[in-house]
Structure 1
Amino acid sequence: MLQSTTSESGLPAEPVPGDTVHVIGHGPAAFVEAVASADGGLRYKVSYPDGTQDFVASKDVLVSEDSKGQRHFRSRFDSGPVVNEGPSAALATAGSTTPALPFTMMSPRGPRQLEYLGRSFDDSRRNIATPSATFSLVATMVGGGVLSLPYAMSQCGLVLGTICLLAAAVGSAWTLDMLVDCARATGRDSFELVGHAAFGEFSRKMTIALIFAICWLTKIAYFVLMADLLVPLAERALPHVAAAQGQDAFRRLVVTGAALLLSPMCFKSSLAALRFMCFASVGSVVVVGAVVGLRAFQTFGQAHEIHVQLPDGQKPVIVQAAYHMWPADWSKALYSFPMFGVSFLCHFNALPTHQELQRPTRYRMRMVIGTTLCLTSVIYLFVSICGYLYAGCYTCGNILLNFSSDDGLVTVGRGALGLVLMLNFPLICQPCRNAFFRLISDTACIQGYIADAQEAEQEIADTSSPDIYLEETVRRPAAEAGVQLGSPRWPGQFSSPPVGPRSPPTAVAPTTHTNSNSSSFARRSPPPAGRAEAAARVHVYLREDTRGGRGGSERAGSLEAFDTFMPKDATVQQSSSEPTQFLRCVLTAVLLGSSLLVSMFMKSIMVVWAVVGSTVSFLIAFILPALFWYKINGSTASPFRRRAALALVGFTSIMSAICFVLALANLDMPPCPLQVPSPGKLGLVALEF
């Protein structure tokens, strides 16, 4: 239950400089000072996240929260403010000149009693049920990377490998919940905008660059995997061409042919027809996992023949049923450790899923995250353990390389997964191109190749008169407060720029809504808005009303927002520009050609996963979400949670540095182990040629 904070006189406490407040119709702000108005009341000077400042009536400040997280619950909507006799009473004196807060103290986070949703709770566009949202995230995680998990398990051992995989799942669930927490505290519905809310424009650019990097590296990984899967099929179909070309040349020929086949889809601006691929992707992985499990069951507990990929072709290996529980070589275990983290990477899709989830209570979203990680962990554990039990210490970076090209059942799995990867490739190419475009869209050389996505937004902005806006929001309140202003430069020295037609402050009469704690809030209808403004508008709810589940108050009927506002930050308001058709084709060709060229020099898929996992994956999955959460929500969290978040950042940063060094030292790693362990040590026998 929220507790009201009072002064020694028993009256509700006034905010003090630095408090986070929510201003009706404007959103989160930082309290600067209180200034006496001409009628003897108070007006609050507040600073918005974009650095602009404004004077607002004290009755329009719903909740304040000091820098230590102490809550001041305000439910007064009377015409005159209450003046305290406590320390904050000094703020009621006319002519107060408390210095403005530095920009670094301003945050788009609102008070923690409130939830901010980019789409309203019952928006018709929220049409994804909990099972569909869960399957969508599972499909994002599960893919070709599952083929490398048996190798990671073989290097870490069954006990440590299982611990690492489950720890990665728990850590991913934790950081996914952090991202959702940041989104609900700021109203931002994308990874990059959460980064912008935390650390500004540099952080936004960095998150875009990381999304581009993970997509581009994933394209390289897909090319390597397609070569691993399609070359055995091509060798069976064209044995004479394979013998004449040689292994390396034939491999490059196959992957180039695959690139040419899928390239027409990569140049398209929309790939709505391929949305069904998430089902095919999960289905093909399940088929491959079933094949690996079947072969492991058939050979369990007995010596059997497997295959490894050597420089001169595929060769047979006789391996006995001997497995180790802990790493035989700790450096190789550390080298393969990032594979567990990258397997659970879906953080850039978590917030779009949250944006489209029906009735997005915290309980429902946590159920989606928890169920997703549990299902994915079961699939990963099954494939990784079965793959290791089948291939032993000769487990390849791609477990399908351990099977003979003559195995008909495995051939079906190779073909199905290879076809799915080819059809999935354009789905990776599109966000890669979009992220790259956003990175370079500010450069002068491509300004002529940018198409406006929504020209109506400019028309909406043009309907707002600067003179009327300044008169209503700056000069008139300041004059009532006894403050003299000069001629501020547009968009105003103290007020935010307009983002659409403004409604007069008294046009809508507030109604009263009482929650379970009998605390009153003003419920106001949003002002008239254009299409662009409606898309960017943030909806405000009580945290306890959107909790849901046990101990929550999820309602059967509609949950109405008690306030809505337009974000003050121009970065959130701006429409996303799009490249012209010519620029889209140029960017696609550059990204497709560069990823294909790099993939031709990659011998092992583990090289790609090691680089991706030790750099981009650690940043996106663990380091940045924890840092964003600490910056946005850390001031109101318990000391234990803050220390835990910092510990996660420190541990993953150290592991990232170590694993990256090992990844660089093993860039020439072969696709399968070449060294034969001592038979007496591990119970294995040598290669038989």
Structure 2
Amino acid sequence: MSINGNADVNTESAVTEDSETAPLLNNGSAPPRARGASFASSVFNLMNAIMGSGILGLAYAMANTGIIAFCILLIIVASLAAYSIHLLLKLCDQTGINSYEDIGEKALQKPGKVIAGVAIIIQNIGAMSSYLFILKSELPAAIRTFLSPDSAGNAWYEDGRLLLILVTLCVVLPLAMLPKIGFLGYTSSLAFLFVLYFVVVIVVKKWSIPCPLSRNVTTLSGAFQISNSTESECTPKLFVVSSKSAYAIPTMAFSFLCHTAVLPIYCELDRPSKGKMQNVTNVSICLSVLLYLVSSVFGYLTFYAHVESELLLGYDKYLPHDIVVMTVRLAILLSVLLTVPLIHFPARKATLLLLFGRRPFSWPIHIVATLTIVGVVLLMAIFVPDIRNVFGVVGSTTSSCLLFIFPGIFYLKISNSSRRSFDSIGAAFLVVFGVIMGIFSLSVIAITWSLNT
């Protein structure tokens, strides 16, 4: 489907053009040929791209930065993410270009297109592999919680690899095969409901786990005794500075990385315009910030300094057989599962653009590309023993580039705005901030690895 405002509506070849490579409306001056994705569907898709499994780690970040410091940092990172999207949309509006990769080519010629495309492919394949790795690790445990303790210990549903293959073939692959990202609005709305359910449960369960925390621990002699936290640990901290505080900003930045999905969503938006897509972005980021804040605050106020790096693990310790906690764990896993096809879309789009350019849509090429990417992701999730370490360095570098550095550089190279204009200064700030954050993230990962070896 073409939505180019300068194209002839009656041109047969334009009607068959693939939505993944169709140019944008210029200022919304011409009507689209067919109704695109609704505003609500686009918001759900972008929120699904934003949130993923990052919501599980932000309470831990709050415990290591303090409530006020966390809120300030979260709002700053969210604002910078929204601003970098504003720069990308402004470039799309000025040039009529509809892809991150082509904006890179416009700014830096062929190397810019290749660098942006490769970064998108690496980032999204890494993210998809990490999500499937989480499913492989957590899905068998989630299923076991619903079964009686007398169930057989070697049942097929306790094999994480087998379960991963089944859910990939039955859920991920059919959704990833869809040619338009707008169709995923239905699954994204379902994923949003799962996340909302998670947040509600975190709020409600705050009063089910009293502080000081107590739990059974096993002594060296094999006996059980009660271990209590102190009253002082039940006081919320407003500001915290420790070695673990270093993980806060990278965690937040990765929690708002949705830029590779923004332009595909923009392309399929009904009557697309920069202002409308900016509203989609603002609503999505604001709702995400709200859900992040509520879940982080109540998760932190439940466990205080004892918050686990993955929030739900704390509930497993103190409420191991709570049926609501069991269901919310399964809901989060389903949310992660439904996020994978959405992340797959820009990875496939970047692959097709780099390999085939803007050739007309072809189902054989589309199917082969989809099967190849999903196959690579599945094999990595199955056979790599620790996917997070493998993609730690790659993720921190590509995320910094896609979130901050590339939008800033592309804007400075393409835009005709004065170098003293607000957006030019803001773009330069994004580049500097992204470089600092990337170096900082790599340093933290290197130090962590050196301490663990």
Equivalent position of 2:117 in the other structure: 208
Aligned to 1:382: 294
Amino acid at match of 1:594: M
C-alpha displacement of 1:199:
1.1
CA distance, structure 2, for counterparts of residue 158 and residue 368 of structure 1? 28
| Equivalent position amino acid for 1:304 in 2 | L
Whether 1:601 and 2:394 are equivalent positions in the alignment is no
2:36 is aligned with 1:127? yes
**Letter of the aligned partner of 1:419 in structure 2?**
L
Find the aligned partners of 1:307 and 1:430 in 2 and give their Cα distance. Answer: 46
Tell me the distance in 1 between the aligned counterparts of 2:216 and 2:128.
Answer: 27
Answering whether residue 429 of structure 2 is matched by residue 647 of structure 1, we say yes
Instruction: Return the alpha-carbon distance in structure 2 between the equivalents of residues 592 and 316 of structure 1.
Output: 43
- Contact kept in structure 2, 1:256 and 1:596, CA below 8 Å: no
Contact 1:262 1:426 (C-alpha < 8 Å) held by counterparts: no
CA distance in 1, matches of 2:127, 2:216: 27
- Measured after TM superposition, the shift of residue 608 of structure 1 is 7.8
- Preserved CA contact (<8 Å) 1:336 1:610: no
Aligned to 2:408: 626
Check if 1:153 corresponds to 2:62: yes
Shift of 1:635: 4.0
Amino acid at match of 1:628: F
Post-superposition offset of 1:126: 5.3
- Identify the residue that residue 294 of structure 1 maps to in structure 2: 204
Look up the equivalent residue of 1:270 and give its one-letter code. L
| Structure that is richer in strand per residue | 1
Q: Which of 69, 77, 83 matches 1:174?
A: 83
Deviation string 1:41-66 (CA, Å, 9 cap, x unpaired) is xxxxxxxxxxxxxxxxxxxxxxxxxx
Q: Is the 8 A contact 1:623 1:648 kept in 2?
A: yes
Asked whether the equivalents of residues 60 and 311 of structure 2 are also in contact (C-alpha less than 8 Å), the reply is: yes
Q: In the TM superposition, what whole-angstrom CA distance separates every residue of 1:169-214 from its partner, at most 9, and x where no partner exists?
A: 1101111110000001110011111111111111111221122112
Match of 1:658 among 433, 440, 444: 440
The alpha carbon displacement at 1:164 in A equals 1.0
Cα displacement (A) at 1:132: 3.8
Q: What is the DSSP-based 3-state SS (H/G/I as helix, E as strand, rest coil) of the residue aligned with 1:579?
A: helix
Aligned-residue CA RMSD (Å): 3.6
CA distance, structure 2, for counterparts of residue 581 and residue 322 of structure 1: 55
Q: Gapped runs of 5+ residues in structure 2?
A: 1-5, 8-23, 218-224
Q: 1:256 to 1:391 in 2, by over 3 A?
A: farther
Q: Structure 1, unaligned stretches of length 5 or more? A: 1-24, 27-114, 309-314, 443-570, 671-689
- Among 267, 270, 276, the alignment partner of 1:364 is 276
User: For the Cα contact (< 8 Å) 1:142–1:376, is it kept in 2?
Assistant: yes
Instruction: Give the 3 Å change call, closer, same or farther, for CA 260–160 of structure 1 in structure 2.
Output: same
Q: What are the superposed Cα offsets for residues 120-162 of structure 1, whole Å, 9 maximum, x if unpaired? A: 5422335344444333322321222211111111122212111
- Give the Cα separation in 2 of the matches to 1:422 and 1:613: 19
Q: Indicate conservation of the 8 Å contact 2:215/2:226, yes or no.
A: yes
- Cα distance change of structure 1 residues 328 and 255 upon mapping to structure 2, 3 Å threshold: farther
1:332-390 Cα offsets, whole Å, 9 max, x none, are: 21223211111112212222333333444544333332222211111111111111111
Amino acid at match of 1:289: V
Q: Given the superposition, is the C-alpha separation of residues 227 and 658 from structure 1 closer, same or farther in structure 2, using an over 3 Å criterion?
A: same
What is the TM-score when the length of structure 1 is the normalising length?
0.53
Inter-partner Cα distance in structure 2 for 1:583 and 1:369? 28
**CA–CA separation in structure 2 for the residues paired with 1:176 and 1:583:** 27
Matched, 1:408 2:323: yes
**Who is 1:270 aligned against?**
178
1:180 to 1:240, Cα distance in 2 relative to 1, 3 A: same
Aligned to 1:327: 240
Which protein, 1 or 2, shows the higher relative CO under an 8 Å CA cutoff with sep ≥ 6? 2
Distance 2:102 2:422 in 1: 27
Q: TM-score, normalised by structure 2?
A: 0.79
Name the residue aligned to 2:103. Answer: 194
How far is the alpha carbon of 1:233 from its aligned partner?
A: 2.5
> Residues of 2 paired with 1:175 and 1:307: CA distance?
48
Aligned residues: 412
- The CA distance in 2 between the partners of 1:358 and 1:584, in whole Å, is 25
CA contact (8 A) 1:196 1:202 kept: yes
5 Å matches for 1:7-26?
none
Letter in 2 for 1:575: P
2:191 aligns with: 281
Structure 2 partner of 1:254: 160
Instruction: Supply the distance in 2 between the matched residues of 1:655 and 1:307 (Cα, whole angstroms).
Output: 41
Range with bigger deviation, 219-228 or 278-287: 219-228
**Does the residue aligned with 1:174 lie in a helix, a strand or coil?**
helix
- Equivalents in 1 of 2:110, 2:451: separation in Å? 39
- 1:575 corresponds in structure 2 to 360
* TM-fit CA distance, 1:328: 3.4
- Measure how far apart 1:323 and its partner are: 2.9
Structure-1 residue corresponding to 2:303: 391
Q: For the residues of structure 1 that align with 2:304 and 2:403, how far apart are their CA atoms?
A: 30
Measure the CA separation in 2 of the matches of 1:580 and 1:143: 25
Tell me the equivalent position of 1:460: none
Q: Is 1:418 matched with 2:333?
A: yes
SS across alignment from 1:189: coil
Distance 1:664 1:438, change over 3 A: farther
Query: Secondary structure of the equivalent of 2:234?
Result: coil
- 364-373 vs 138-147, which deviates more? 364-373
1:590 aligns with 2:376: yes
Closer/same/farther in 2, CA of residues 610 and 146 from structure 1, 3 Å limit = farther
1:479 matched residue in structure 2: none
Shift of 1:406: 1.0
Amino acid of the structure 2 residue aligned with 1:647: F
Are the counterparts in 1 of residues 194 and 335 from structure 2 also a CA contact under 8 Å? yes
Distance in 1 (CA, whole Å) between partners of 2:392 and 2:69 is 18
Contact 1:221 1:608 in 2 (8 A): no
Match of 1:142 among 47, 51, 58: 51
2:79 matches 1:164: no
Residues 1:345 and 2:257 are matched in the alignment: yes
Residue identity opposite 1:324 in structure 2? K
- Partners of 1:135 and 1:372 within 8 A in 2: yes
Task: Give the 3 Å change call, closer, same or farther, for CA 428–351 of structure 1 in structure 2.
Answer: closer
User: Residues of 2 paired with 1:585 and 1:614: CA distance?
Assistant: 27
Shift of 1:638: 3.7
Give the match's secondary structure for 2:64: helix
Contact kept, 8 Å, 1:146 with 1:380, in 2: the verdict is yes
